[in-house]
């Protein structure tokens, strides 16, 4: 069925989605708006005003109609984490787009492709159109759809998003998994001294900083070393994500869904003290801490049970994101980046050798200096 619609590229040995018929099908798939479940723009700089308005809307969403049962520390944490995650997604999506090996200009003579790529750049493309764009440009990872649903607001939009994603995967010839397995990860913990997420999980020392300082440092990159922060406190709440592989495309692209929520730990009836104690015993510097914490604290069991019964006052929803990841594109881009970095270093080394020969001679003799690794290469040039 789909073989008739797809073009088999003998050069890449993969089926191509970039055919007129597939593009037409992708156009018919429901598209979310930026304020519903539209994906983060590939180029948020083109629509900066739109993104600022969205950010303002999300801020209002988390600051109004807060459920009465929500503890103050959770409400304050939500006000910080929702905007910061919005900014993070924009930066990550744009970085993946910017590192793609093919630019939209390569399709200058294909109006249909340029049309869907323009929508992808501004956050108005359907998930199916984004799957085509990902393949056409060789993007390693691209967001297909996202809905922000703090406290369980807008979960009806999440259902709408999931239907659109399912239709996109299947209409583009992929396989949609109706009952995928899920993995849980601890991505941070509720502590207003330092709303730590992702790479900031491991504290460096015991200096307390304000949330404003943390966000400024995290996004503006005003420092070059890890933040010095206080010892973590897991007793207020944990930021957890549930990740599921929900589909596979004909070109090897994997489609994943990631839902984030806060698991309250401020009440023994939600998460027992022995679970938190087990997490505290773990090595926070371990690269597998995010998974180990889930296993040690049996957090997946508690989260699954609360989600199934829709106990959103104890397992507080934040957002759901669907993205497409391609390993072949990732490896290609990583290899290209490594080669570019090597060529840059080689150029710098040649400049030092030619302009400062005495200094160069001393440095290449130091086995710990990066110039020593290029000595043989330079001697051949």
Crossing angle between the packed helical segments 48-63 and 72-98, to the nearest 10 degrees: 160
On the 0-12 / 13-18 / 19+ scale of CB atoms within 10 A, 116 is: buried
CA distances from 181 to 40, 173, 238, 304 (A): 25, 21, 22, 12
Across 98-107, 156-165, 173-182, 345-354, least confident range: 345-354
Of 217-231, 247-261, 304-318, 321-335, the range with the lowest mean pLDDT is 217-231
CA–CA distance, 155 with 195 (Å, rounded to integer): 25
Residue 274 has pLDDT above 80, yes or no: yes
**φ, ψ dihedrals at 147, nearest 5°:** -135, 130
Name every residue whose Cβ is closer than 8 Å to that of residue 342 and which is 6 or more positions away in sequence. none
- Name the band, by pLDDT with cuts 50, 70 and 90, for residue 58: very high
Q: Which of 201-205, 213-217, 252-256, 270-274 has the lowest mean pLDDT?
A: 201-205
Give 309-360 pLDDT, tens digit per residue. 999 999 999 999 999 999 999 999 999 999 998 888 888 888 888 888 888 8
Q: How far apart are CA 97 and CA 115, in angstroms?
A: 16
Which pair of structure tokens corresponds to residue 162?
A: 């999931």
Q: What mean pLDDT, rounded, does the chain reach? A: 85
CA end-to-end distance (rounded Å), the chain: 56
Separation between Cα atoms, residue 251 and residue 85, nearest integer Å:
29
d(CA 58, CA 352): 51
């Amino acid at each position: 069925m789909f073989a008739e619609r797809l073009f088999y590229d003998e050069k890449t040995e993969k089926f191509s989605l970039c055919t007129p018929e597939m593009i037409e099908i992708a156009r018919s798939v429901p598209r979310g708006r930026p304020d519903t479940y539209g994906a983060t723009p590939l180029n948020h700089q083109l629509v900066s005003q739109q993104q600022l308005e969205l950010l303002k809307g999300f801020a209002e969403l988390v600051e109004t109609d807060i459920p009465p049962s929500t503890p103050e520390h959770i409400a304050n944490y939500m006000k910080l984490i929702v905007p910061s995650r919005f900014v993070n997604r924009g930066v990550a999506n744009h970085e993946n787009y910017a590192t793609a090996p093919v630019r939209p200009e390569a399709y200058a003579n294909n109006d249909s492709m340029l049309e869907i790529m323009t929508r992808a750049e501004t956050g108005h493309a359907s998930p199916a159109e984004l799957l085509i764009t990902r393949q056409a440009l060789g993007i390693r990872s691209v967001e297909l759809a996202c809905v922000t649903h703090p406290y369980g607001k807008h979960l009806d939009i999440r259902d709408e998003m999931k239907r659109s994603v399912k239709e996109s995967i299947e209409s583009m010839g992929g396989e949609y998994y109706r009952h995928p397995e899920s993995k849980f990860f601890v991505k941070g913990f509720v502590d207003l001294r330092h709303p730590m997420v992702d790479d900031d999980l491991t504290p460096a020392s015991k200096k307390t900083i304000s949330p404003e300082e943390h966000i400024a440092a995290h996004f503006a990159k005003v420092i070059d070393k890890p933040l010095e922060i206080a010892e973590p406190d897991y007793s207020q709440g944990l930021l957890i994500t549930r990740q599921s592989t929900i589909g596979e495309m004909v070109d090897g692209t994997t489609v994943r869904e990631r839902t984030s929520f806060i698991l309250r730990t401020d009440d023994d009836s939600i998460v027992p003290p022995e679970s938190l104690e087990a997490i505290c015993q773990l090595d926070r510097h371990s690269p597998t801490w995010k998974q180990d914490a889930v296993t040690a604290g049996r957090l997946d069991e508690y989260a699954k049970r609360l989600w199934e019964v829709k106990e959103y006052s104890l397992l507080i929803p934040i957002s759901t994101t669907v993205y497409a990841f391609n390993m072949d594109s990732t490896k290609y881009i990583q290899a290209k980046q490594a080669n570019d970095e090597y060529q840059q270093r080689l150029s710098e080394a040649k400049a030092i050798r030619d302009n400062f020969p005495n200094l160069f001679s001393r440095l290449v003799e130091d086995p710990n200096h990066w110039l020593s690794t290029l000595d043989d290469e330079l001697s051949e040039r």
